Amino acid sequence: MSKTFPRGGVHPPENKISADAVIEQLQLAEQVIIPIAQHIGAPASPVVNKGDAVKAGQIIATSQGFVSANIHSSVSGKVNKVDKVLDSTGYKQTCIVIDVEGDEWVENVDLSPEIKKEFDFSGEEIIKKCSDMGIVGMGGATFPSHVKLSLPPGKKCNVLIINGVECEPYLTSDHRLMLERGEEILIGTTILMKALGVDRAMVGIENNKPDAISHMTLLASEFKGIEVHGLKVKYPQGCEKQLIKALINREVPSGGLPMDVGTVVHNVGTAFAVYEAVQKNKPLIERVVTITGKDIPRPVNLKVRIGTPLTKLVEAAGGLPEQTGKIVNGGPMMGKAVGSLDIPVTKGISGLVLINEAEAKRNVTGPCIRCAKCISACPMGLEPYLLMTLTEKGFKEKAESERIMDCMECGSCSYICPANRPLLDYIRLGKWFTGKIIRERMHK
Amino acid sequence: MSSTVLFTIISLSVLGLSAALILFFVAQKFKVYEDPRIDEVEQSLPGANCGGCGFAGCRNFAEALVKAESFDGLNCPVGGNETMSKAAEILGKEPVEVEPRVAVVRCNGTPEHRPRTTLYDGVPDCTIANNLYGGETDCEYGCLGLGECVEACDFNAMFMNSETALPVIIDDNCVACGACVKACPRNIIELRKKAKKDRKIYVSCINEDKGGPARKACRVACIGCSKCFKVCTFDAITMDNNLAFIDSDKCKFCRKCEPECPTDSILELNFPPRKIKEETEVELKSE
Amino acid sequence: MNNLLRVSLSPHEQSKESTSKLMFGVVIALLPALLASVWFFGRAAILVTAVSVASCVVFEYLIQRFLIKREPSIRDGSAVVTGILLAFCLPVNLPVWLIVLGAFVAIGIGKLTFGGLGSNPFNPALVGRVFLFLSFPVQMTTWPVPKGFATKYADAVTGATPLSILNENYDKVAIDQLMTDSQAGLPGHMQAFWGEMGGSLGEIAAFALVIGLIFMLIRKIITWHIPVSILGTVLLFTGILWLANPSDNADPLYHLLTGGLLLGAIFMATDYVTSPMSSRGMIIYGVGIGILTVLIRRFGAYPEGVQFAILIMNAFTPLINSYVKPARFGEEVNRG
């Protein structure tokens, strides 16, 4: 019997069209745009200026404070400008624009293809390496990994969880990474285990990837303390609270973190990046991005350098289909719709889903029929219909006591609503108001 | 009279009297002393409870007026100076003359001037759209056209023009309560000093991008060229972040700045027509 | 590409569920009971149902279009469901004008005065039914004797329902003897199961209603909580009564199979708008309906209590929704 989380969840169609597409290396673009804020926390501060020559792997913006991350150049060339450019946030942000010349790397970076299994770094050295190399969560959250690995005094961790679930429809970058670079992922896992001081790790993979499960299980037999678990296919299994509940049956308390229940969760992509950082001295400058959609000529999984404009990726997949109505950065359930393909790939972009006009159009909203399907679907035990009404009518304080801040914005409620009510739109607005109220209260 | 009727009358009267007595004593015991002047002042206020004074309703404002030493900083925009003098009279304090203001929408990005590059089909709420992205156009400072300001107005002083996709302010109804200013997530609406005959001169743009991108996004954007700044002899214009701003308190309506603006970003409304003159057009880098 | 890209908040996918699909599912679930009714009562069943549905839809359209002046919402199918459910609570020989009046009260007063679908606190079909019952008690309590397909509409021959017979005889005659007395006119358990008994249009055929319940459960239109808690509570309390005093009470299974209990528990009480939203709340609601039904049936003046029980508990639904919340994630912290 496969494990799963008991409460809530929906079953959107999987559409893993690109699951069989082997990862391809995308050729270098002519110009890359690297935002200084690709992570949660303070944006990095640029240390290069217009006209400077840079090499691939060179640090170009330094982390500002503990919850921040370094940014490295993904290419070699000359800095064109440091200016505000439109990026995936929907607004113009400060970016370092580099004209690409050749592909020279800084010294120390090991570009050889051999897999290095042994390492003798201490836990602190590993955490410092992650910080130096700009490693952030690759599942989309982009939380700086060195912060996640630095447990505050008093918090102990007894198991590491590796997230290979990829519950979003369409996305397959993690799937392909596990199939093609499984060993590196597991080495990265052991490195993370050392950093956290645990001797047990669990890799969670959804049952719709049986090849990945068997491949990883086989590889994991060579590693001490790593177990691979197949999980029932249910969205949002990949959200960390639900993954923790399914694998070790512990519930992260409201407002708390996974370390409160003795665990830390990292994406398989992050584990891979940690391997490259620690064993190969390679900073985080490229990642696998899935380009997919029902009408796309050639769904692909591309390995691209950070900063490559998305137009290049869509070109490699065969070009933008005629009737595209919406382009989503991420999966269709939690991803962000983008207005232009001129924006760059960042550390957090795991895929691009191209939805045709007919499916992209939102259906007409009806009145709430109080069917309670949103309540059955909510994995956090909230009442989305109520949170929407409270926000619409302006009851901001009541929303807080109804636990609106617990909402993970997974989208299950809006998905299942038979009346097509924009539940998550309003809940997001309510969280924004409530966040402001909480911050004002903390300042007093 | 039958005994039933008599008994009924007596028992009900006794009940009524005792209830009245209890209520009377309870009211006396738990009475909260309130300065009777608060009621008087509240009567003189418009009673719209709009919050334009900065207080939560007319009664709270009346309390503040009674407690305050002077009327400095206290003003009811709806009632204006007339109401403030009445309140001052009741309290025996000096009224402070405040110049009336009116709300002005500082954006002229119609679909003609500012082409749409995406289609927003989420919930028509400006705060939600603003949190999501820069908007349907390439100007991320401009009006989103979803009408949160119009909904916030309690005085029927605003409506959304469906052709220009911009809010329109009806000057006669606007009492400068500030609700629309607070509602707009982009701070596009400003309360400017009201001039005679509803005349206005203002920069209809708050875009802080450099001239090139600003003009690319919108034909009538302020490009920060400073030409208006250079001709103003009253120090009313300031330049900040590639954007010009005309201070309505300092502006003397000399109208020298408007023809200088190469992008027609400065709007002058309700003035007599100018004599037509030959003007050289400044051409900027086109797309 | 000619069209502009769309931008909005996630999720960017919608499930195929819709309000009208759910309503249509309920209509299908009601079809077995309608067919059973035609089998026992003849063409009259179709006539009554058709008049009821047509009146409900027409009144909803007219009132929304001309009185409320908004876009009519008849396409969502809820008026059709109300029409069928109203018809199911009426005796088959009810005059047409009363059916129309009932539909007007159900839709106009029970639903639209409160704001339309989603805003009504009381089940509209029951509002219509109770209005007719209290205002026209004679017509609403004369049921035709089932004579199969040959029955003519407004047949002169009428008979009593099992519950009305029981109600007349409580504390007068030994009930257990009455049940076995063939002269008394009480149908046996099997007859009650298949539907060969007097009663309203839709409530007679227990088996057909249960088929509808299974269909709705499989299609995930309703969950098990409300029907099971109502029926379970009724079984429990009638069981207690019967065990305490077998000569004065009918057995629990008989109570389950007769009257409008199954119709109410499966279709009326499970109405989305008027029932609680959380699972725990639904069970409290169901238990309340069960207790009230048993009280009214056994100790009250009316032979059938389900309609009042459901309306009373409908009034409690907002209270239940306020205080009974679903279990929140992370409430009980498990330390590993």
What residues of chain B have any CB closer than 8 angstroms to a CB in chain C? 116-123, 128, 132-133, 136
Measured distance CA(A331)–CA(A18) in Å, rounded: 13
Looking at residue C77, the DSSP 8-state letter turns out to be S
Q: Which of B35-49, B228-242, C223-237 has the lowest mean pLDDT?
A: B35-49
Domain count, chain C: 2
Q: How many residues belong to chain B?
A: 287
Q: For chains B and C, count residue pairs whose Cβ atoms are closer than 8 Å.
A: 28
Picking from B116, B133, B241 by the largest number of A CB atoms within 10 A of its own CB, the best residue to mutate is B133
In this structure, are B126 and B238 located in the same domain? yes
Is A362 in the B-facing interface, judged by CB distances under 8 Å? yes
Task: Clarify whether residues A151 and A197 are in a common domain.
Answer: yes
Phi-psi region of A262 (alpha: psi -120 to 50; beta: other; left: phi over 0): left
CA C65 to chain A, closest CA, distance in angstroms equals 17
Nearest to B122 among C4, C5, C9 (CB): C9
Instruction: Please tell me whether residues C296 and C177 are part of one structural domain.
Output: yes
Residue C93 lies in a domain: yes
**Residue B45 and residue B178 in one domain:** no
Taking 3-state DSSP, the helix, strand and coil percentages for chain A, each rounded to the nearest 5, stand at 30, 20, 45
- Sequence-distant (6+) residues with CB within 8 A of A89 are A37, B133
A416 plus A275 within the same structural domain: no
Which among B91, B116, B133 is the end of a domain? B91
Q: What is the pLDDT of residue B145?
A: 94
Measured between CB atoms, which of B121, B127, B134 is closest to A362? B121
A360 and C12 within 8 Å at the Cβ level: the answer is: yes
pLDDT at A162: 96
Is the bond leading into C11 cis (omega within 30 degrees of zero)? yes
Question: Which of B68-77, C86-95, C123-132, C153-162 has the lowest average pLDDT?
Answer: C153-162
- Give residue-wise pLDDT tens across range B79-105: 888 888 888 888 888 888 888 899 999
Question: What backbone torsions phi and psi does residue C236 show, to the nearest 5 degrees?
Answer: -60, -50
Do A213 and A230 form a contact (C-beta atoms < 8 A)? yes
Does any CB of chain B come closer than 8 Å to the CB of residue C1?
Answer: no
**Residue A88, domain member (yes or no):** yes
Residues in chain C closer than 8 A to B144 (CB atoms): none
C153 pLDDT more than 70: no
Choice between A291 and C154, residue whose per-residue pLDDT is larger = A291
A360 → chain B, closest CA residue = B121
Mutate which of A86, A342, A414, A427 to disrupt the B interface (most B C-beta within 10 Å)? Answer: A86
C271 and C186 share one domain: yes
Q: Count Cβ–Cβ pairs < 8 Å, chain A vs chain C.
A: 174
A269 and A351 inside one domain: yes
Residue B14 forms part of a structural domain: no
Task: Tell me if B123 and A432 make a contact (CB, 8 A cut-off).
Answer: no
Residues of B in contact with C4 (CB under 8 A): 116-119, 136
**B114 with B215, same domain?**
yes
**For position A208, which CATH number holds?**
3.40.50.11540
Per DSSP, B259 falls in state G
Question: Does C278 contact A417 at a Cβ distance shorter than 8 Å?
Answer: no
Backbone angles phi, psi at A31, to 5 degrees: -145, 140
What does the alpha-carbon distance between residue A263 and residue A200 come to, in Å, rounded to a whole number?
10
As a whole number, mean pLDDT of residues A278-304 equals 95
Any domain includes B12:
no
The answer to whether B271 faces chain A, any CB pair under 8 Å, is: no
User: Looking at the domain assignment, is residue A171 inside a domain?
Assistant: yes
How far away is chain A from the Cα of C7, in angstroms, using its nearest Cα?
5
Query: Are C76 and C198 in a shared domain?
Result: no
Question: In the predicted model, what is the mean pLDDT of chain A?
Answer: 94
Do both A56 and A21 map to the same domain? no
> What pLDDT shows up at residue B196?
87
Chains that touch B (3 or more CB pairs under 8 A): A, C
Torsion of the alpha carbons at B11, B12, B16 and B18, rounded to the nearest 10: 10
Q: Which of A91, A361, A432 sits opposite B133 (nearest CB)?
A: A91
Question: pTM here?
Answer: 0.89
Do B122 and A362 make contact, defined as CB atoms within 8 angstroms? yes
Q: How far apart are CA A335 and CA B87, in angstroms?
A: 56
Pair B41, B152 in one domain: no
For the stretch C157-192, pLDDT in tens is 677 788 888 888 887 777 777 777 777 777 888 878
Confidence band, pLDDT 50/70/90 cuts, at residue C152: low
Collect all residues of chain C within an 8 Å Cβ-Cβ radius of residue A381: 326-329, 331
State yes or no: pLDDT of B287 exceeds 60.
no
Task: Report the distance separating Cα B88 and Cα A79, nearest Å.
Answer: 65
What is the interface size between A and B, counted as CB pairs within 8 Å? 38
Domain presence at residue C59: yes
Are A438 and A329 contained in the same domain?
no
- The distance of B134 to chain C (nearest Cα, Å) reads 11
Gap from B6 CA to chain A (nearest CA, Å)? 54
Across the interface, whether the CB atoms of C18 and A418 are under 8 A apart is answered: yes
Based on the fold, state whether residues A80 and A134 are members of the same structural domain. Answer: no
Specify if A239 maps to a domain. yes
Residue A137 maps to a domain: yes
Do B179 and B218 have their domain in common? yes
Contact criterion met (CB below 8 Å) for A305 and A75: yes
Please tell me the predicted confidence (pLDDT) of residue A423.
96
How close, in Å, is residue C1 to chain B by CA atoms? 12
Domain hosting A411: range is 373-443
Are residues C310 and C185 both part of a single domain?
Answer: yes
Phi, psi of B53 (to 5 degrees): -75, -15
**Same-domain pairing of A34 and A21:** no
pLDDT one-digit tens code per residue, B184-240: 999 999 999 998 888 999 999 999 999 999 999 999 999 999 999 999 999 999 999
Query: Which residues touch A223 (CB under 8 Å, ≥6 apart)?
Result: A186, A189, A190
Residue B283 domain flag = no
Residues B213 and B115 in one domain: yes
pLDDT at B284 over 50: no
Averaged pLDDT, B156-177: 93
Pairwise CB contact (< 8 Å): A420 & C14: yes
Q: Residue C37 belongs to what domain range? A: 19-140
Give a yes or no: residue A367 inside a domain. no
Confidence (pLDDT) at C151: 60
- In whole angstroms, what is the distance from residue C29 CA to residue B144 CA? 47
Sign of CA dihedral A181, A182, A186, A192: positive
How sure is the predictor about A200, in pLDDT bands with cuts at 50, 70 and 90? very high
pLDDT at B42: 87
Question: Among A100, A131, A161, which residue terminates a domain?
Answer: A100
Shortest Cα–Cα distance, C4 to chain B (Å): 5
8 Å CB contact of B118 and C9:
no
Is the pLDDT reported for residue B173 higher than 60? yes
Instruction: Specify if C315 maps to a domain.
Output: yes
CATH number of the domain encompassing residue B166:
3.30.70.20
Q: pLDDT band at B72, cuts 50/70/90?
A: confident
Residue C146, in any domain of the structure: no
Which residues lie across from A83 on neighbouring strands? A95
Do C136 and C225 reside in the same domain of the chain? no
- Whether A366 maps to a domain, the answer reads no
Amino acid identity, position B34: E
Instruction: Output A229 or C302, whichever has higher pLDDT.
Output: A229
Token pair belonging to C142? 């004369």
Number of domains in chain A: 3
Residue numbers in A near B132 (CB within 8 A):
90, 336
- Shared domain for A39 and A91, answered yes or no, is yes
Residue B199 shares a structural domain with residue B157: yes
Using a CB-CB cut-off of 8 Å, the residues of chain A touching B117 are: 339-340
Domain that holds residue B66: 36-91
User: Rounded distance, CA B152 to CA B181, Å?
Assistant: 9
For A88-111, the pLDDT digits (tens) are 999 999 999 999 999 999 999 999
Q: Are residues A11 and A92 in the same domain?
A: no
Residues B230 and B187 in one domain: yes
Q: Tell me which amino acid residue C103 is.
A: A
Distance CA(B246)–CA(B229), nearest Å, equals: 9
Pair (A272, A415) in one structural domain: no
Q: Residues 51 to 110 of C: which have CB under 8 A from any A CB?
A: 73, 76, 78
**Contacts A411 to C, Cβ<8 Å:** 10-11
State percent of chain A over pLDDT 90: 93
A84: nearest CA partner in chain B: B209
Domain for residue C154, yes or no? Answer: no
Q: Of the residues A71, A100, A129, which one is the last residue of a structural domain?
A: A100
Percent of chain C with pLDDT over 70: 95
Residues of chain B positioned with their CB less than 8 A from the CB of A92: 134, 140, 209
Residue B232: the pLDDT is 93
Has residue B24 got a pLDDT over 70? Answer: yes
CATH for B78:
1.10.15.40
Please tell me which chains touch A, using 3 or more CB pairs under 8 Å as the contact test.
Answer: B, C
- Residues B183, B253, single domain; the answer is yes
- Residue ending a domain, choose from A47, A70, A100: A100
Residue C206 included in any domain? yes
- A344/A29 Cα distance (integer angstroms): 11
pLDDT at C149 over 70: no
From the DSSP assignment, how many helices (H) and strands (E) are in chain B? 9, 9
DSSP secondary structure letters along B127-166 = HHHHHH-S-SSS-TTS---S-HHHHH-SSS-EEEETTTTE
Do A420 and A282 share a structural domain? no
Which residues from chain A sit within 8 angstroms of residue C3, using beta carbons? 323, 325, 357
C178 and C314, same structural domain? Answer: yes
User: Taking CB atoms and an 8 Å cutoff, what residues of chain C touch B132?
Assistant: 7-9
Minimum distance, in Å, between the CA of residue A332 and any CA atom of chain B: 15
| Shared domain check, C207 and C78 | no
Cα–Cα distance measured from residue A98 to residue A106, given in angstroms and rounded to the nearest whole number: 16
Give A336's contacts in chain B (Cβ within 8 Å). Answer: 132
Residue C286: pLDDT band by 50, 70, 90 thresholds?
very high
Q: Please give the tally of structural domains in chain B.
A: 2
Task: Please give the angle made by the CA atoms of A79, A81 and A86, to the nearest 5 degrees.
Answer: 120
A5 Cβ contact partners less than 8 Å away, ≥ 6 residues apart: A234, A237, A242, A243, A245, A246, A379
> What is the residue-averaged pLDDT of chain B?
89
- Domain at A52, CATH number: 2.40.50.100
Taking residues A170-183, report their average pLDDT.
95
Confidence class of residue B31 from pLDDT cuts 50, 70 and 90? confident
- Domain-embedded: residue A227: yes
Same domain membership, residue A275 and residue A128: yes
DSSP string, A101-137: -S--B-TT-----PPP------HHHHHHHHHHTT-B-
- Phi, psi torsion values for C150, nearest 5 degrees: -80, -10
Residue A299 C-alpha, separation from nearest chain B C-alpha, in angstroms: 24
Sort strands A286-292 and A300-305 into parallel, antiparallel or unpaired.
Answer: antiparallel
Residues C90 and C179 in one domain: no
Q: Does any domain span residue B15?
A: no
B220 and B240 share one domain: yes
Residue C260, min C-alpha distance to chain B (Å): 44
pLDDT of residue C304: 87
Question: Does residue A342 fall inside a structural domain?
Answer: yes
Nearest to C5 among B118, B122, B123 (CB): B118
Nearest to B123 among A90, A361, A426 (CB): A426
3-class SS at B246? strand
| C156: pLDDT strictly greater than 80 | no
pLDDT in tens, C189-212: 887 888 778 788 888 888 999 999
Q: Given this model, what pLDDT does residue C259 score?
A: 86
Residue C293 pLDDT? 94
Question: Band of the pLDDT at A16, cuts 50, 70, 90?
Answer: very high
Contacting residues of C for A332, CB less than 8 Å apart = 10-13
